[in-house]
Structure 1
């Protein structure tokens, strides 16, 4: 019988352990985490830190998130989040725990909702779309600080710029 596993958040890391918070023993091995009777997440741990591919689930057992973690427990590569109906809701790319590359979100019907560009954790550009696919807004950033934004009406005409 495997030990009863628990988890806690420390900084940006989710630590998997056995025992109590006062006498926690960090877990190494394949972990299956439960919230009540429902499977919450599963994957490998080394010294309590998530490593490799992990999956997390909605209360009904439907896949909620799949991410890969590096040896320090930071997101590495693509992380995907799913709505309760199984539809992909977001996809983010990470490099050692920092957003890097494209991040996308989708409406429930699968239409693109937003697209962001990051470079080593710094935002470069963010675009939002209307449910019909028309561009709604573009935000530009310089050194991760807001630079400008342009808004469009659903028909594609310019609404305002700042």
Structure 2
């Protein structure tokens, strides 16, 4: 029984020693010394594996934050207005915009519903008015503008 207990204890100690600790690095500061950009990382020998990044306004509010992979934007990123209200949300793959992005007004209403593919505008982008009505429809294909239609009467697009 004692040899098994020793092996289990040794395994637990070795695993706890190899556990990576998430660390914080201040990349940039404001003149008053407050943080402007902070990156989270794991230390792997002499290499830092950055996992996320957060930017701050000079008032201390978050400006934007998201995940990193290989030092590039990856996964979900969010941006906020200076008052803390959500401004936009979208995803990145290998540092490029990918998929659906949503942009909001300062009062929290959806303003633009847009789509990216491989970092370029793609598909239908919808722009919304104050009452949630679609006021503009823009179509892209691989970054090139295909059509741009205003909808002042909120009529269905053809």
**TM-score, normalised on structure 1?**
0.71
Tell me what 1:104 maps to: 102
In 1, the alpha carbon distance for the partners of 2:49 and 2:29 equals 15
In 2, the alpha carbon distance for the partners of 1:59 and 1:48 equals 30
Tell me what 2:37 maps to: 41
Tell me what 1:149 maps to: 148
**Cα–Cα, structure 1 residues 142 and 49, in superposed 2: closer, same or farther, change >3 Å?**
farther
Tell me what 1:69 maps to: 68
Deviation at 1:117, TM superposition (A): 1.0
- Please state which structure has a larger fraction of its residues in helix: 2
In 1, the alpha carbon distance for the partners of 2:49 and 2:107 equals 32
In 2, the alpha carbon distance for the partners of 1:49 and 1:150 equals 47
State the secondary structure of the residue aligned to 2:50.
Answer: strand
Deviation at 1:49, TM superposition (A): 7.9
The count of corresponding residues between Structure 1 and Structure 2 is: 130
State the secondary structure of the residue aligned to 1:102.
Answer: strand
In 1, the alpha carbon distance for the partners of 2:128 and 2:82 equals 22
- Once the two structures are superposed, residues 103-150 of structure 1 have per-residue CA deviations (whole angstroms, 9 ceiling, x without a partner) of 110001100000111122232121111121110111111232111122
Q: Which runs of 5+ in 1 are unaligned?
A: 1-28
- Please state which structure has a larger fraction of its residues in strand: 1
Deviation at 1:42, TM superposition (A): 1.2
The runs of 4+ residues in structure 1 deviating greater than 6 Å are 46-50
Q: Which runs of 5+ in 2 are unaligned?
A: 1-22
- Once the two structures are superposed, residues 36-77 of structure 1 have per-residue CA deviations (whole angstroms, 9 ceiling, x without a partner) of 122102123678988211111111101111111111x21101
In 1, the alpha carbon distance for the partners of 2:68 and 2:30 equals 21
Largest Rg, 1 or 2: 2
**Is the contact made by 1:43 and 1:50 (CA closer than 8 Å) also made in structure 2?**
no
Report the aligned-residue RMSD.
2.4
